[in-house]
Structure 1
Amino acid sequence: MVTHDKIKVVVAGLNELDLVAQLFDKYRVFYNQKPNLEAGRKFIEERMKENQSVIFLVTHEQVNVVQPLGFVQLFPSFSSVSMERLWILNDLYVDQSARRLGVAKLLLEKAKEYAIQTNSKGLILETAIDNHNAQRLYESIGYKKDSGTFHYSFSL
């Protein structure tokens, strides 16, 4: 059981790398990728060392053991049309043991606070068409489905 008095939200740095890497591997598996903890750890470490993303991590401390509960990773971008910064909310994951406890909302709130602190236009994200739980969550806290654009990708 998770008690809220032991829950912390931190900006993850190299000290939290292993905790984030555990969750990142589970996140990738959720999206049908093969587990690869070491490659995921290296990917996150590179983002941290190069200051290429901001990661918020939720942890729960119990009897001197820190359990990672969830993370959100934001990548910086800009809107040329509005000439403002925005953040791409690229990754959001909550460990299965902590789902429906408010961890995702806490992470989304931290992302919103950070966007405000950095004088950003806002946050953008995408999710799978069949991820109805995520869609309900996003819409419940004010995210709007973008009906004015199409998303395209070009794979190499």
Structure 2
Amino acid sequence: MNTLAIINATEKHAAEVARLFDAYRVWYGKASDADGALNYITQRLRQNESVIFLATVDGAAAGFVQLYPLFSSISMGPVWILNDLFVAEDFRQQGIGTLLLETATEFGRESGALRLHLETGPQNFGAQKLYEAHGWKKDDEFFCYSLELS
């Protein structure tokens, strides 16, 4: 029987998270950049700019979810952006994504957030199915825009 654990990642977990983070970026079509991933994750954790939950199976890093804080002016309260959710290929179909999503949801509630927000690619059907199965709703009220600055 495998032992599954969810850890609230600290800087000491940066290397484990960074390996997954690099694989996540590659999945989204970016070139692998292990050093850049480690630097990025280390800085987020060191500066308390994000909250990362790391899933481990028998001590091996299996997946992660990363949340960033935000505030809603209209609702006048805190919101968390669920920016990254990834499970390594060898660990998929074991409920890890669900557990990470549930952990993020519970964290959001406990932190007093009004809601969680996320965006995913239109072809990411697996993630869409997971989110919708857990009560997430597609936004039909607002359009999402982006302006590239670099």
Shorter-chain TM-score range: over 0.9
- Aligned Cα RMSD in Å? 0.7
Counterparts of residues 16-31 of structure 1 (less than 5 Å): 16-31=13-28
Matched, 1:134 2:130: no
1:60 aligns with 57
Per the alignment, residue 48 of structure 1 pairs with 45
TM-score by length of 2: 0.97
Q: Percent identity?
A: 42
Structure 1: which 5+ residue stretches go unaligned? Answer: none
Give the whole-Å Cα distance in 2 for the aligned partners of 1:121 and 1:14: 27
In structure 2, the partner of 1:123 is 116
Q: What CA distance in whole angstroms lies between the structure 2 residues aligned with 1:91 and 1:129? A: 15
Do residues 152 (structure 1) and 149 (structure 2) align? no
**For 1:37, which of 34, 37, 42 is the aligned residue?**
34
Is 1:12 the counterpart of 2:5? The answer is no
Structure 1 residue corresponding to 2:62, chosen from 69, 80, 97: 69
Deviation by residue 1:70-96 (Cα, 9 ceiling, x = unmatched): 000000001111111010000000000
* Distance apart, 1:14 and its partner CA: 1.2
- Structure 1: which 4+ aligned runs deviate by more than 3 Å? none
Deviations 1:21-73 (A, max 9, x none): 11000000000000011100000000001100000000012xxxx31100000
For normalisation by structure 1, the TM-score amounts to 0.93
